[in-house]
Structure 1
Amino acid sequence: MKIIAMIPARYSASRFPGKLMQDLKGKPVITRTYEATVATQLFDDVVVVTDSEIIFKEIKDIGGKVMMSKKEHECGSDRIAEAVEFLDVDVIINVQGDEPFTDKKSLVKLIQVFKEDPKKEVDLASLMVHIQDEEEIKNPNTVKVVIDQFNFALYFSRSPIPYPRDKNVDVKYYKHKGVYAFRKQAILDFYRLPMQVLEASEKLEQLRYLEYGKRIKMVETNVQGIEIDTPEDLEKANKFWK
């Protein structure tokens, strides 16, 4: 099984433009993410795929592998699908460019899902973290996921799900971490299928997979990490790096 890591790296970001080129302890965020992914030694290849000449040059200058996107894309999955369409690969791990604290143990768990799936019943795998803080549960920037008894995703939402109507029920809330593992065919299907109502409403690309009947296996991790979405996150990351 050939497994590669792809790091989609868009320069513009609505909440923090140019965040991937911001300094994190002496190197840009995207460089820290790329180096951390390579350092796991889990992949046959690690490639940054970007729409930015600036990011392209940065990865080239450090001797890394990088591809330029040929088209404008709505989301990271589209960008990766274009990049892998003609590559000889079985499974693609999507590592977010703004997550420099990539956790090796979590990635190992994702890869194991496919190694233990000889019938190819799993289309995607992704990570989730148990959360208990009420503010985080209510925060629309924290994407929640509900799962079935076999840890397959039932739904993703920016709203608190499930809604705690009965306060006596011991409900566990899970935050979805945007690290995905795809079978190649699953991501190519995503690329060719139009957006549906749920994805358009919540602005969550993972809902397109569910709307078209793809199966997403969720893997629990206890590593929260730091996603750099705001200048405050970057400040926190610099402190954490010490």
Structure 2
Amino acid sequence: MSVLVVIPARYASERYPGKPLVPLRGASGRQATLVQRTWEAARGIDGVSRVVVATDDDRIREAAEGFGAEVVMTSSDCRNGTERCAEASDALGGGFEMVVNLQGDAPLTPRWFIPETIEGLRAAPDAGAATPVIRCDAETLNGLKMDRQAGRVGGTTAIFDRDHRALYFSKEVVPYTADAEKAAAVFHHVGLYAYRPEALTDYPRWDIGPLERTEGLEQLRFLENGRTMSCVEVETRGRQFWELNNPSDVTRLEEMMATMGME
């Protein structure tokens, strides 16, 4: 059975228009767009049979085809990346064991996160989807809190039960902690999802609930419709990780790439 990786890329972001085409400079000075670096991160991962960029914008299509990516054009009516993944999978004829949503704003996602998330979903037969989470250290927790104090939308946090079934996701830092020594109780959510095909097919048919609408987090639609999402704890193995959420994150990501020697 095959695994499809879809990189949803939308140009008309309200918060950061044109984000997929923002260039990032690596340690060697090479510049490549956000979507290209995300595509490069997905290629050659064990257990992945196909990687596509899904977009509704010709500028992104031209750029992606220019660096060799397979592109699936999707509707501008897609309300989020999960709906875009569902449409792309359908356009390709389906038949995949799983579909992975590798969001285009996370080029520093370590390669092993994808197979570990896939295996996490395979190990949770009651779950329609799985997503990775990272246990925070004091530095990461401080970064999340600083973003919120500055009024920036930074990383997302996750809460789950003892069987790793997701209970809630928030752009606020949850659970509340005033003590950096309790950082390990906070989990940073990684913008990566693995879906079973039947759950992905159902997703666009569900109404957007009040929690998804309030937080602006697509994964909450699963929870609001009583579906199980499994949280898979992953290790960074010493690698730095952050998403590009705001223009100010470009410098942060480039500094991380320089530190890690990423070209």
Same fold (TM over 0.5): yes
> Could you say what secondary structure the match of 1:129 adopts?
strand
Deviation of 1:204 (Å): 1.4
Per-residue CA shift, 1:150-194, capped at 9, x if unaligned? 1111111233333459xx999701121111111111111111111
TM-score by length of 1: 0.89
Distance 2:200 2:15 in 1: 26
Structure 2 equivalent of residue 116 of structure 1: 123
Moved more, 101-110 or 169-178: 169-178
TM-score by length of 2: 0.82
Write out aligned runs for 1:128-207 (5 A). Answer: 128-131=133-136, 132=138, 133-134=141-142, 136-137=144-145, 139=148, 141-163=154-176, 172-207=185-220
Is 1:8 paired with 2:8?
Answer: yes
Structure 1 residue runs without a partner (length 5+): none
Deviation of 1:147 (Å): 0.9
RMSD: 2.4
1:76 alignment partner AA: G
**Sequence identity percentage:** 29
Structure 1 equivalent of residue 253 of structure 2: 237
Structure 2 equivalent of residue 210 of structure 1: 223
Which of 17, 22, 44 is 2:49 aligned to?
Answer: 44
1:16 alignment partner AA: Y
1:136 alignment partner AA: L
1:17 alignment partner AA: P
How many residue pairs are counted as aligned between the two chains?
A: 240
Distance 1:177 1:61 in 2: 28
Runs of 4+ residues over 6 Å off in structure 1 = 168-171
Q: Is contact 1:137-1:173 (8 Å) kept? A: no
1:34 alignment partner AA: W
Write out aligned runs for 1:16-55 (5 A). Answer: 16-25=16-25, 26-55=31-60
Distance 2:67 2:210 in 1: 42
Structure 2 residue runs without a partner (length 5+): 26-30, 259-263
Q: Is contact 1:137-1:144 (8 Å) kept? A: no
Structure 2 equivalent of residue 226 of structure 1: 242
Is 1:98 paired with 2:118?
Answer: no
Per-residue CA shift, 1:115-173, capped at 9, x if unaligned? 334xx3121110112224246257353322111111111111233333459xx999701
